[in-house]
C-alpha cells in the first residue's frame, strides 16, 4: 500500500540491528554515514515506484533498478481496485490513508485513469419476487444485488500510476537502470549491519541504503540477508471490462 511506502521513506538515518529485520516483502537496510551515495531500490513495481517518488520529495536521488521495465509484472496488470473502508484491525488505517493518497496523486500527477466508483455485490441465481435488480445492464440470472459501498471505492490503471510515479521521480533527480540485482555487500557486525553496495549485472554499486521491492522475487533477498522471506499466494480472479465507447471518445 502507498501508506506503507510513505512510512518507509520516512525511516530515520540510523543503523538497524539485524535481529530487528522482519520477513516482509519490502526490506530496507540500515543507512550508512555517506550521504553522497544513493539509496538503491530493487524492483520498479508499485512499491518501488512509490518509494522512489516519495524519497525524491525528501530531497533524495535514489537509483531504481528493474530487470525488465517499470510495472512489468503484477503492478502493471492488476485491476486497480481501491477500497477505502475494507480494512480491519491493523490494516484499517493503511486502507483509509492509501485511499486518500491515491486521489492526491491522481490530482498532482495527472493520472487520467483514476475515478471514484460505487461497489456492487451481485448474487447469481434464479430471479424471484424478492430480487433487487440495481444492475440491469448485466445479462444472465441474478438472485439478488445490493450496494456494498456507494462512495468508498475507486479504480486506477496500475501501469499508468507506476509510470507517472517514476516519471515524477526521474524529473526530481532519481535514476532508473534496467538490470538484475544479483546480491548485496554488507558491512558492520551483527548489531550494526548495513548494506554498503549492491551487485547489479556483476557490477558493484556503492549505496547508502537498499530497499527490496521485488514482489514475489523478494524471496531472493532471504539469501542476501540470511532471513526468511516467505511467500504465500491468494487464489482470486479479477476481470476488467473495457468500455469501447469510452475509448473511442478519448481517441477523438
pLDDT per residue rounded down to tens, the chain (252 residues): 565 554 444 443 333 343 333 333 444 444 445 678 999 999 999 999 999 999 999 999 999 999 999 999 888 888 889 999 888 888 899 999 999 999 999 999 999 999 999 988 888 888 888 888 788 777 778 888 888 888 899 999 999 999 999 999 999 999 999 999 999 998 877 667 889 999 999 999 999 999 999 998 888 888 898 888 888 777 776 666 677 776 666 666
Q: Which residue has the cell 537509483?
A: 63
Cell, residue 167: 516519471
Residue 10 to residue 233: CA distance in whole angstroms: 29
Residue 212 to residue 224: CA distance in whole angstroms: 11
Residue 149 CA to its chain's centroid (Å): 23
Whether the predicted model's global pTM rises above the 0.75 cut: yes
Torsion angles phi and psi, residue 93, rounded to 5: -65, -35
Q: What is the CA radius of gyration of the chain?
A: 21
**Region label for 183, one of left (φ > 0), alpha (ψ between -120 and 50) or beta (otherwise):** left
Query: Are 13 and 34 in contact, with CB atoms under 8 Å apart?
Result: no
Q: Is the dihedral of CA 99, 103, 105, 106 positive or negative?
A: positive
What is the four-CA torsion angle of 95, 246, 141, 132, rounded to 10 degrees?
Answer: 60
Query: Are 71 and 165 in contact, with CB atoms under 8 Å apart?
Result: no
Residue 86 to residue 165: CA distance in whole angstroms: 25
Residue 136 to residue 1: CA distance in whole angstroms: 34
Amino acid at each position: 500500500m502507498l501508506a506503507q511506502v510513505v512510512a518507509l521513506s520516512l525511516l530515520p538515518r540510523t543503523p538497524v540491528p539485524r535481529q530487528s529485520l522482519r520477513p516482509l516483502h519490502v526490506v530496507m537496510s540500515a543507512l550508512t554515514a555517506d550521504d553522497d551515495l544513493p539509496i538503491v531500490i530493487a524492483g520498479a513495481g508499485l512499491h518501488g515506484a512509490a518509494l522512489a517518488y516519495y524519497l525524491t520529495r525528501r530531497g533524495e536521488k535514489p537509483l531504481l533498478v528493474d530487470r525488465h521495465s517499470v510495472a512489468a509484472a503484477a503492478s502493471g496488470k492488476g485491476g486497480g481496485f481501491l477500497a477505502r473502508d475494507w480494512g480491519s484491525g491493523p490494516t484499517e488505517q493503511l486502507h483509509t490513508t492509501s485511499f486518500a493518497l491515491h486521489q492526491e496523486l491522481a490530482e498532482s500527477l495527472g493520472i487520467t485513469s483514476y475515478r471514484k466508483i460505487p461497489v456492487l455485490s451481485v448474487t447469481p441465481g434464479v430471479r424471484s419476487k424478492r430480487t433487487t435488480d440495481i444492475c440491469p445492464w448485466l445479462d444472465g440470472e441474478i438472485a439478488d444485488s445490493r450496494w456494498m459501498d456507494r462512495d468508498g471505492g475507486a479504480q486506477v490503471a496500475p501501469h499508468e500510476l507506476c509510470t507517472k510515479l517514476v516519471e515524477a521521480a526521474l524529473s526530481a533527480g532519481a535514476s532508473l537502470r534496467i538490470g538484475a540485482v544479483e546480491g548485496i555487500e554488507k558491512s558492520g557486525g551483527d548489531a550494526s549491519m548495513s548494506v554498503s553496495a549492491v551487485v547489479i549485472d556483476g557490477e558493484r554499486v556503492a549505496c547508502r541504503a537498499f530497499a527490496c521491492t521485488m514482489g514475489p522475487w523478494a524471496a531472493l533477498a532471504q539469501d542476501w540477508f540470511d532471513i526468511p522471506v516467505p511467500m504465500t499466494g491468494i487464489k482470486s480472479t479479477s476481470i476488467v471490462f473495457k468500455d469501447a465507447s469510452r475509448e473511442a471518445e478519448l481517441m477523438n
